[in-house]
Chains A and B, each alone.
Chain A
């Protein structure tokens, strides 16, 4: 069988204008012409010479750090922006979900938004009408169907948006990070729905930072690094390569991936260091950062410590039902987290800056390396032995001599 998608040497060059504004003003353009000055530009290849094939019915995960070119690749596949070099041969109808709820309008009712959004995603009006009840059912917002969207909670908007997208039946479905938001139960529902997509024989291209969900949905994967394809193979191989690759040292603040523009983070320090490779001695993890809230929001920091993809320990406020709502403004937050007695070794620390149960504002995943040094345990445990757990349990022995 012919591959459903052939990506042949695709590259995308962006021209970076060295100027203050985001877009070119006519005055500058004219001034440059008059001065016979070449615009100060620099070429930047967001994607370079990427080639791979996708077979019909395959579900392929695209992995890479922020800025590796994942989104650019998806944009090209979705025809939103043309490639600078190379070409893509497609043999099926592509639907892409680079965002949930594209085109949602706050003034329109839920019902109206379903129709407009559905149509944008490529559904025919008849199709939307026949699936309407199912969509409403899946979203669980039937009571508010004729209420303008602006009165919905953000969680409800998200459900509605995903519900519309879930009923697309394209031959090739492209999904970018859309599951990064929403509560756990709804996420599970979405994942199941996405699994169904491949069962129905559709081809799935999935980009996510969430490695467990990539693992559960995709069979194959490709790894992008600085715009180049590094590895393509089974999803396990690719995830392995991705997580074992040690990135060069940088500041934590520079590796934060923002999902939403409501917060701005500065001066993130872990145990006094702003680097993304740190050594922790003792059992206190102190995290501090300056955070600017651009509007009033409930916010908390969730911290997960992982060892080889397996979560070892987590910290979050909501588990004790203590969530603080912040007024807009700049704050300095200082967390002191007690660590369990951990085995010495390399760990990853993931930070999630979230609005609990609603969405992620910013995330850093698999980027902060933590070297735990536990001087209390026997040197034997410093060597890697898979039999031994990462957390060392404390206990007492009472000894009674019998004979």
Chain B
């Protein structure tokens, strides 16, 4: 490295975001993601196919129970399409959040021995979830063709936007939980439960309009993934989501991002002492 600049190691005075440093370590994002993707499907016969099979199997189960047996309305599109479109974007959040939350603890041996911006670790776990999304997205295309489901041109910007929102939501909560998990291992047990609860209050398997009480609808809109799921589905269903709910959800997502990153940065110096 050419710039032999002076730098100082001291007890505090970390800038909130050292962009320059993150940029210097940019390759580590790639390597952590690459490693996790490789490890995830090592010694499996089906390999990457699992990224596709998991949502497909879930879709089948939900279609049988909720679509057929309970006859849940699906905003005028076939129920399997409804569920799958919700599931693939939801899975970014659920797998991303779970692995990000455990990422610091799982990589404790590395954290204790080598310095690099700690943020790389949870971010990379989320990138792994995005990789799974891409795999599942191909299957999504096939399903759309199979059900001859028309898609509005709005998908061109709404889908990337939904993706961005889900990454923001995952990153915020993921970083927060990752940092908390380092100090209080209790969170390891809270996370699966939290993901389960959020799954039921996010309109993945049923539309929010199914709920009769407006207050309940507001509470559900607090889920940061509400906006992502609704916007992702909009080009297929053509049903515009409630603007107020959308704002509530977006706000909750950005608030979580702020809290999560701030808490993470505030505690990251001491991860090596606690991990």
Which A residues lie at the B interface, using CB under 8 A? 14, 23-27, 29, 75-93, 96, 98-99, 102-103, 105, 107-108, 112, 115-116, 119-121, 124-125, 148, 171
What is the minimal beta-carbon distance from B274 to any residue of chain A, in angstroms? 6
User: Smallest CB-CB separation from B12: which chain A residue?
Assistant: A82
Tell which of B5, B6, B42, B110 touches A120, judged by Cβ atoms closer than 8 Å: B110
A105-B6 contact, Cβ under 8 Å, with A25-B184, A25-B186: no
Question: A83 — which chain B residues lie within 8 A by C-beta?
Answer: 9-11
Question: B11 — which chain A residues lie within 8 A by C-beta?
Answer: 82-87
Interface centre among B4, B31, B185 (most CB of A within 10 A): B31
Contact with A along B131-152 (1 / 0, CB 8 A): 0000000000000000000000
A23-B185 contact, Cβ under 8 Å, with A81-B270, A103-B110: yes
What is the minimal beta-carbon distance from A56 to any residue of chain B, in angstroms? 10
Question: A82 — which chain B residues lie within 8 A by C-beta?
Answer: 9-12, 269-270
What 4 A-B pairs have minimum CB-CB distances, sorted nearest first? A87-B10, A79-B115, A88-B9, A26-B186
Q: A24-B184, A90-B8, A125-B27 are in contact. List 9 more A-B contacts (CB 8 A).
A: A23-B274, A78-B115, A83-B9, A93-B4, A102-B109, A107-B38, A120-B110, A120-B116, A124-B27
User: Smallest CB-CB separation from B43: which chain A residue?
Assistant: A107
Q: Does B77 contact A (CB under 8 A)?
A: no
Tell which of A76, A78, A93, A108 touches B114, judged by Cβ atoms closer than 8 Å: A78
Question: B35 — which chain A residues lie within 8 A by C-beta?
Answer: 105, 108, 112, 116
A108-B39 contact, Cβ under 8 Å, with A82-B11, A115-B31: yes
Q: Does B45 contact A (CB under 8 A)?
A: no
CB-based contact B8/A81 at 8 Å: no
User: Smallest CB-CB separation from A84: which chain B residue?
Assistant: B11
CB-based contact B272/A80 at 8 Å: yes
Q: Does B1 contact A (CB under 8 A)?
A: yes
A70 and B263 alpha carbons, distance in the complex (Å)? 30
CB-based contact A89/B28 at 8 Å: no
A87-B8 contact, Cβ under 8 Å, with A98-B114, A103-B114, A120-B116: yes
Tell which of B9, B38, B114, B183 touches A87, judged by Cβ atoms closer than 8 Å: B9
CB-based contact B1/A107 at 8 Å: no
Q: Does B7 contact A (CB under 8 A)?
A: yes
User: Smallest CB-CB separation from A126: which chain B residue?
Assistant: B27
Question: A79 — which chain B residues lie within 8 A by C-beta?
Answer: 9, 115
Question: B6 — which chain A residues lie within 8 A by C-beta?
Answer: 89-91
CB-based contact A119/B38 at 8 Å: no
Question: A75 — which chain B residues lie within 8 A by C-beta?
Answer: 272
What is the minimal beta-carbon distance from A333 to any residue of chain B, in angstroms? 31
A80-B115 contact, Cβ under 8 Å, with A85-B11, A119-B27: yes
Contact with A along B176-198 (1 / 0, CB 8 A): 00000001111100000000000
Tell which of B31, B109, B272 touches A116, judged by Cβ atoms closer than 8 Å: B31
Question: A25 — which chain B residues lie within 8 A by C-beta?
Answer: 184-186
Question: B20 — which chain A residues lie within 8 A by C-beta?
Answer: none
A26-B10 contact, Cβ under 8 Å, with A102-B113, A108-B35: no
A197 and B7 alpha carbons, distance in the complex (Å)? 23
Question: A24 — which chain B residues lie within 8 A by C-beta?
Answer: 183-184
CB-based contact A120/B4 at 8 Å: no
State the total of A-B contacts with C-beta under 8 angstroms.
109
A108 and B40 alpha carbons, distance in the complex (Å)? 11
User: Smallest CB-CB separation from A107: which chain B residue?
Assistant: B42
CB-based contact B28/A91 at 8 Å: no
What is the minimal beta-carbon distance from A16 to any residue of chain B, in angstroms? 12
A62 and B184 alpha carbons, distance in the complex (Å)? 35
Residues 38 to 91 of chain B near chain A (Cβ within 8 Å): 38-39, 42-43
User: Smallest CB-CB separation from A112: which chain B residue?
Assistant: B38
Contact with A along B93-114 (1 / 0, CB 8 A): 0000000000000000111111
Tell which of A80, A88, A91, A148 touches B10, judged by Cβ atoms closer than 8 Å: A88
Interface CB pairs A-B, < 8 A, 18: A78-B114, A80-B115, A81-B272, A81-B273, A88-B9, A90-B7, A91-B5, A92-B4, A96-B113, A102-B109, A102-B114, A105-B35, A112-B35, A119-B28, A119-B31, A120-B116, A125-B30, A148-B42
A82 and B114 alpha carbons, distance in the complex (Å)? 13
Question: A89 — which chain B residues lie within 8 A by C-beta?
Answer: 6-8
CB-based contact B114/A96 at 8 Å: yes
What is the minimal beta-carbon distance from A357 to any residue of chain B, in angstroms? 25
A87 and B115 alpha carbons, distance in the complex (Å)? 17
A124 and B9 alpha carbons, distance in the complex (Å)? 23
What is the minimal beta-carbon distance from A248 to any residue of chain B, in angstroms? 29
Question: B12 — which chain A residues lie within 8 A by C-beta?
Answer: 82
Tell which of A26, A86, A120 touches B184, judged by Cβ atoms closer than 8 Å: A26
Contact with A along B1-34 (1 / 0, CB 8 A): 1001111111110000000000000011011001
User: Smallest CB-CB separation from B14: which chain A residue?
Assistant: A82
Question: A14 — which chain B residues lie within 8 A by C-beta?
Answer: 273
A27 and B189 alpha carbons, distance in the complex (Å)? 13
A147 and B38 alpha carbons, distance in the complex (Å)? 14
CB-based contact A96/B115 at 8 Å: yes
What is the minimal beta-carbon distance from A157 to any residue of chain B, in angstroms? 14
Question: A125 — which chain B residues lie within 8 A by C-beta?
Answer: 27, 30
CB-based contact B112/A80 at 8 Å: yes
Question: A91 — which chain B residues lie within 8 A by C-beta?
Answer: 4-6
What is the minimal beta-carbon distance from B8 to any residue of chain A, in angstroms? 6
A87 and B109 alpha carbons, distance in the complex (Å)? 26
CB-based contact A102/B10 at 8 Å: no
User: Smallest CB-CB separation from A124: which chain B residue?
Assistant: B27
What is the minimal beta-carbon distance from A385 to any residue of chain B, in angstroms? 48
A399 and B185 alpha carbons, distance in the complex (Å)? 82
User: Smallest CB-CB separation from B183: which chain A residue?
Assistant: A24
